[in-house]
Structure 1
Amino acid sequence: MAAGAVEVAAAVVEVGSAGQFEELLRLRAKSLLVVHFWAPWAPQCGQMNDVMAELAREHPQVSFVKLEAEAVPEVSEKYEISSVPTFLFFKNSQKMDRLDGAHAPELTKKVQRHASSGSFPPSGNEHPKEDLSLRLKKLTHAARCMLFMKGTPQEPRCGFSKQMVEILNKHNIQFSSFDVFSDEEVRQGLKTYSNWPTYPQLYVSGELIGGLDIIKELEASKELDTICPKAPKLEERLKVLTNKASVMLFMKGNKQEAKCGFSRQILEILNSTGVEYETFDILEDEEVRQGLKTYSNWPTYPQLYVKGELVGGLDIVKELKENGELLPILKGEN
């Protein structure tokens, strides 16, 4: 262990200085080194430290390190750490991947992938390039309109990405996005694949349209609306969602995990009827969460729909159950 480094949890090493970090990189050069840049004030960092401890137990051959980002600013600046949590992956003392944000499944996947690829980075053979090229092709075709950006549409992490999202939203364009901060391989590989050195990048039907300047030009020339697919109007979308299943419950959480007491109670009632139903988690979609209140003229959640028609919230469902009317309504007999 590097002098002065502190062992925490199962094989997770805590480093407190730039010197300790450089020494650790040298000492652990032969193995995969996963470094968590964290801050004690960020609750998501505590959660990811728990994930790291679990991964350390599962992968004893991997070295796991936690480094308080603000306590060792020279290391954070060197590796462009602008937010926490951020994870860097090292092999042979060289950074070879990065993950920004509290994404436990993605962290687990990256650790598994890099740990199983051996102690050294891939040699110059063509197979990894072919694999990456295939992956990039799938990603660029993942939706009719795909935006590769820094951050997410809800939380852009650079001004250019923020402007791009604003333009697409203003024109009611339906798009999916990929956060290039979440995958260093994609972030670097797409620059070569598209022959476009910067982000954001917008693709339509797998073809690169361009970056922010091009999109601004297309907007000015009125061509943007003809190139990119329009999102359905909110009212049309809500109509489709409320009719998605014969019985639809809009709630906080889902069938497996209710995220409020009212939603939990209504799930218990529905489950007791034996009737098939589907759920929609309004916490996952702010547009639906706010829009459905107006659409249904019902201000709270959960909301229960049968054949696209609002039945009501928890109180009404309770009353219907007590009166013996709920089951016939759910079965469409009323």
Structure 2
Amino acid sequence: MAEYLETVKESAEFSKLLNDFKSQLIVVHFAANWAPQCKQINDVLTELSKNTKNTKIVQLEAENVPEISQKYEIVAVPTVVFFKNGEKVDRLDGANVAELSKKVSKWSSGSQVVTSEPPKQDLNTRLKNLINQANVMLFMKGSPREPKCGFSRQIIQILNDNQIEFGYFDILTDDDVRQGLKKYSDWPTYPQLYHNGELLGGLDIIKELVESNELCSTLGVQDKPSLNERLKSIINLAPVMIFMKGNPETPKCGFSRTLVDLLNSESIKYKTFDILSDEEVRQGLKKYSDWPTYPQVYVKGDLIGGLDIIKELKEGGELQSTFNPE
């Protein structure tokens, strides 16, 4: 019988899981605690774990392990990824319970998944429940990762550009929902966007809200700060701030590794930001500071430079006074 594991919290723990259970199917739910549809997927996976052999089922908070989420192109939650022999073999985007059961059954080495058929809900009740799965809920063709029409692709881009968190449902997977929602909301086309259970409209309406700068306020989210404001905020997170590839424990380039080794040898306290985890920061900081390479070192909000500058300061005996000014 499968064991439902606790949340995997770190990359090393995830790598160990893939290595230790190669002989089994590993089902990984990329989730977020703010998304109610993720709880539904967890409930289903918990039931499946009781009746499926040779299977490990785990959950990851997608936002807490960005390096893993980026590697497997997780753009929305819930997303479930299936692994065999340490390699990804399949994935499921969205809260499609029926399809989830099918995929677990398919990949669990021929083992039988025993599920009881839940009583059918009245269609309107089901539609209402789907609409209320997230504060912002999108009914679209395909998934955020693979939109199946141009209108869906455009609305996904708008939501992502404005950093709006949303749930979604692929109407191509369920014709009852696809046809029923048109009547339920008296709106004949897709995509359809809902906020707090109420229909906002389709792509044209969303574009009008963007043009009038009302999208974020309508959806109850703060306006996206400018990139320069965000960069300034990150730079000032600590008196000494390092923008590098990777982190001090696992640098992802030789220059970053040499820099942290040098600072550690001088017992200099610092915080870091992994520019590989955020392409907007990675590209924007080059223009903001007029410095084209990484790592970059800041002291009290001011750019000191890269590895070469830090080496020069050390050789000139000025490193401590630069990082610890009186």
TM-score by length of 1: 0.51
2:164 is matched with: 175
Q: Does 1:52 align with 2:84?
A: yes
Amino acid of the structure 1 residue aligned with 2:229:
E
**Which of 270, 275, 283 in structure 1 is aligned with 2:263?**
270
Give the distance between the partners of 1:282 and 1:98, measured in 2 at CA: 39
**Which of 147, 155, 168 in structure 2 is aligned with 1:164?**
155
1:140 is matched with: 134
1:236 is matched with: 229
2:19 is matched with: none
1:119 is matched with: 114
Aligned 8 A contact 2:242 2:296 in 1 = yes
1:305 is matched with: 298
Instruction: List aligned pairs for 1:209-224, cutoff 5 A.
Output: 209-219=200-210, 223-224=214-215
Q: Deviations over 1:171-224 (max 9, x none)?
A: x6342355768xx9xxx8xx99xx779975656578663442431354567753
Q: Deviations over 1:100-148 (max 9, x none)?
A: xxxxxxx9xxx99xx9xx832474499xxxxxx99996x735xxx7778
1:53 CA drift (Å): 2.5
Amino acid of the structure 1 residue aligned with 2:218:
I
Give the distance between the partners of 1:299 and 1:213, measured in 2 at CA: 39
- Paired residues in the alignment total 230
Amino acid of the structure 2 residue aligned with 1:260:
C
2:250 is matched with: 257
Give the distance between the partners of 1:50 and 1:119, measured in 2 at CA: 19
Gaps of 5+ in 2: 1-21, 26-50, 56-70, 73-80, 93-97, 122-127
Give the distance between the partners of 1:122 and 1:327, measured in 2 at CA: 68
Amino acid of the structure 2 residue aligned with 1:53:
N
Give the distance between the partners of 2:270 and 2:193, measured in 1 at CA: 37
Give the distance between the partners of 1:283 and 1:200, measured in 2 at CA: 32
**Which of 4, 16, 23 in structure 2 is aligned with 1:10?**
23
Aligned 8 A contact 1:86 1:98 in 2 = no
In structure 2, do the counterparts of structure 1 residues 151 and 224 end up closer, same or farther at CA, with 3 Å as the change threshold? same
Aligned 8 A contact 2:82 2:89 in 1 = no
1:247 is matched with: 240
1:288 CA drift (Å): 1.2
Paired residue secondary structure (1:96): helix
Q: Deviations over 1:251-292 (max 9, x none)?
A: 111233211111111121222233332211112222211111
In structure 2, do the counterparts of structure 1 residues 32 and 165 end up closer, same or farther at CA, with 3 Å as the change threshold? same
1:86 CA drift (Å): 2.5
In structure 2, do the counterparts of structure 1 residues 52 and 225 end up closer, same or farther at CA, with 3 Å as the change threshold? closer
Aligned 8 A contact 1:140 1:207 in 2 = no
1:241 CA drift (Å): 1.0
In structure 2, do the counterparts of structure 1 residues 232 and 319 end up closer, same or farther at CA, with 3 Å as the change threshold? same
Amino acid of the structure 1 residue aligned with 2:162:
I
Aligned 8 A contact 1:147 1:175 in 2 = no
Aligned 8 A contact 2:192 2:201 in 1 = yes
Aligned 8 A contact 1:252 1:282 in 2 = yes
In structure 2, do the counterparts of structure 1 residues 295 and 219 end up closer, same or farther at CA, with 3 Å as the change threshold? closer
Amino acid of the structure 2 residue aligned with 1:176:
E
- In percent, how many aligned pairs have the same letter? 45
TM-score by length of 2: 0.52
1:157 CA drift (Å): 6.1
Amino acid of the structure 1 residue aligned with 2:115:
F
In structure 2, do the counterparts of structure 1 residues 54 and 274 end up closer, same or farther at CA, with 3 Å as the change threshold? same
Aligned 8 A contact 2:159 2:165 in 1 = no
